[in-house]
Amino acid sequence: MLDERVTVHVQTGRNGYDVRVGAGGIDELTVLLPRLAPAHRYVVIADDRVASIHGEYLLGVLARTNRKVDLLTFPSGETYKSRETWSDLSDRMTSSGVGRDAAVLAFGGGVAGDLGGFVAATYMRGLPVVQVPTTLLAMIDSSVGGKTGVDTPAGKNLIGAFLQPRLVVADTNLLRTLPAAELRAGLAEAIKHGAIADAAYFDWISDSVEAILACERAAVARLVARSVEIKADVVGKDETESGPRKMLNFGHTIGHAVESLSEFRLLHGEAIAIGMVLEARLGERLGVTEPGTTERLAEVFSRVGLPTELAEDLPHHGILEATRSDKKARQGKVEYSLIERIGRASPASGTWALPVEDALVLAALEVHPAR
C-alpha cells in the first residue's frame, strides 16, 4: 500500500519542510543536507546511548558531505532535558568555535529532539535544525511541529521556543534496535492520532498491534507515515498552538501530571495512555465524549501492553496540583482537550480546549479503588 519511502510535507506559514519516512532514510542525508540545510559545519546532538548505538553510522554518512562534523553527547534520560544540559551544550559549541554558518542535527528520541532543537533555536539567535528521530515517539510526534524546549523543576517544557526543522528524516530501520517498552510507548501517540482525527486509522492500529510490535516493515512504515500526516495536517493549520493544534493535547493534561509525579519512571507514552483513558472518562461525564469511548481506548492500550489506570503508589491527590503548573492552565483554570468520539476531537466552540472544574476532574480520577 505504501512505497518504501514516503515524503510528508508540513506546511508552516510561508515555508514548510519535508518529513522523509522509510527504511534507510539516514543514507539520504548525504544528498538532502546540502540541499535543505546547507551549512559549513554540522553539529550532531545525541544522548550517549543513541550515540553509542547509531553514532558511528550517522557520522559515516555525514562525512560524505565533506563538512566538519561534531558529535556532542549528553547523558541519556528525561532529567537531562534541562537548562543545565542546554547551557553546557551551547558552551561546548562556543568553545569549539561553532559559528552562525553551522546547522544542528538533533539525533535521538524526544529529549534529544527537544533539547537539540532548543540549542539550535537559541545558539547565536538561531541555527537551522534537522530532526533525525530514533524512537517511534519522536518520529510521529516530537520531531514534527517545531516545538523545542527543556523542563524546569516546576514542570515539563516550561522553557522553549518554536523552531520548525528544515527536514525530518524518520528512518524506520532505527526502530529495530528500540527497546520494546519504547515501541509500545510510542504507539500511544499513534493511537492518539487515530482517536483525535481518523477512526479508520485507529481501527487499523488496533488490528495491527502485533505486526507493529514485531516491527514489520510495511506496518511500521504505514504507521509512521499516517501519524506524521495527521500531525502535519494539524500543525500546518496552527503553527503556534493558538487553536486546533490543541487537539494534540488529548490525554496530555493528566498525562503530563502523571508523568511528572512518577518522577519519569513512567515513559511519556505510558503516562499519556493513562491520561487519555482518564480524560475520556472525564469527557464522558461532561457529556462531551461518546459513551463507551473510554472502554475502547483502554482495550487497545491493554492490547499494546500500556497501562490504563493510575498506579497504586502514585500520590493521586497531587495530580490536580501538578496539572496547574501545566502550560495549558489559563486564567487559573486547567484546560482539557477532549474528544467527541474515536476519530474526532472536540472543537470546544473553536477553542479546542475546555476549562474544567477541579471537582469533576477529581471524580474522574477516583473511579478506581479509592484510597
- Residues serving a catalytic function are 125, 147, 189, 231, 241, 245, 249, 252, 256, 268
Q: Residue 168 pairs with which residues in a beta bridge? A: 19, 131
Nearer to a copy of itself, 55 or 236 (CB): 236
Residue of the chain from 22, 108, 110, 160 that contacts a copy of itself (CB under 8 A)? 160
Q: By CB neighbour count within 10 A (0-12 exposed, 13-18 middle, 19+ buried), where does 136 fall?
A: buried
358 binds a copy of itself (CB under 8 A): no
124 binds a copy of itself (CB under 8 A): yes
Residue owning grid cell 482525527: 197
How far is 52 from 109, CA to CA, in rounded Å? 14
Nearer to a copy of itself, 49 or 83 (CB): 83
> Residue 283 phi/psi, 5° resolution?
-60, -40
How far is 234 from 146, CA to CA, in rounded Å? 12
Nearer to a copy of itself, 125 or 371 (CB): 125
320 binds a copy of itself (CB under 8 A): no
Specify the DSSP class assigned to residue 249. Answer: G
Nearer to a copy of itself, 240 or 302 (CB): 240
CB-CB contact of 269 with 300 (8 Å): no
Distances (CA, A) of 276 to 21, 119, 124, 296: 27, 31, 39, 11
Q: Which stretch binds a copy of itself (CB under 8 A): 17-25, 97-105, 194-202, 352-360?
A: 97-105
Specify the DSSP class assigned to residue 54. Answer: I
Q: Which stretch binds a copy of itself (CB under 8 A): 154-162, 169-177, 313-321, 358-366?
A: 154-162
Specify the DSSP class assigned to residue 76. Answer: S
Nearest in space to 172 (alpha carbons), one of 1, 3, 5, 18: 5
Footprint on residues 325-354 left by a copy of itself (CB under 8 A): 325, 327, 329-332
Nearer to a copy of itself, 156 or 281 (CB): 156
CA terminus-to-terminus distance, the chain: 50
Residues 65-94, one symbol each (x = binds a copy of itself by CB under 8 A, - = not), give: ------------------x---x--xx--x
15 binds a copy of itself (CB under 8 A): no
Q: By CB neighbour count within 10 A (0-12 exposed, 13-18 middle, 19+ buried), where does 61 fall?
A: middle
Residue of the chain from 24, 60, 77, 100 that contacts a copy of itself (CB under 8 A)? 100
How far is 275 from 339, CA to CA, in rounded Å? 13
Residue of the chain from 11, 122, 208, 351 that contacts a copy of itself (CB under 8 A)? 122
CB-CB contact of 137 with 189 (8 Å): yes
Q: Which stretch binds a copy of itself (CB under 8 A): 123-131, 181-189, 192-200, 301-309?
A: 123-131
Nearer to a copy of itself, 22 or 155 (CB): 155
Q: Note the residues at the interface with a copy of itself (CB under 8 A).
A: 13-14, 40, 83, 87, 90-91, 94-95, 97, 99-101, 121-126, 147-149, 152-155, 157-162, 240-241, 324-325, 327, 329-332
